[in-house]
Amino acid sequence: MKPDSAFLADLSASRSRVDRFAAMHRSRGIQIWQHPEVVRPSAEERAEFSDDGDMLVTLRLEHKVRGFAFTGAGDFPFPSIIVDEAYKIDRLPRPFVYVIESSDGEAAAVISYRTLPQWSKVRRYDAAQQRECEFYEAPLSAVRFCGVGEVF
């Protein structure tokens, strides 16, 4: 078994890196909650002090429902998918993921903002808004299609 002094030194070094990582991402608008650090009183009590992870992250998800049914890329009626208005995506914190649900509630198109470099800005008339809007549009190759219950 690792000596207690070595364990405590490793724990302290690990916590420093966790703190640094959390601070870096908080500065980018990510909501991170860190579990309070609790150091076990002795090595004999270690089993009662195992943790449930270092951090919890709250990420922004945007959910949209389209006015047509689809099951995947094969029957999606367009060569790309409108993600959202550009101004909503350009502000921080950015949505981590967009879930575009089929009108029948069975399928979803999941679009991670990590694929943003593949997206295009386009101007289109939005009938619901009754105005021309600037949107981001993603190619279907940047989309993961799945059942609504399989998004996560």
Structure-derived torsion over alpha carbons of residues 66, 135, 28, 54, reported in degrees to the nearest 10 = 20
Q: How do 120-126 and 61-65 pair as beta strands?
A: unpaired
Q: What is the pLDDT of residues 135-147, one digit of tens each?
A: 999 999 999 999 9
pLDDT band at 127 (very low <50, low <70, confident <90, very high): confident
- Three-state SS annotation for 129-141: CCEEEEEEEEEHH
Residue 124 is encoded by which pair of tokens?
A: 């289109």
Q: Residue 87 to residues 90, 99, 121: CA-CA distances in angstroms?
A: 5, 18, 11
For a pLDDT cut of 90, what percent of the chain falls above it? 60
pLDDT (mean) for 55-74: 93
Q: What is the pTM of this model?
A: 0.76
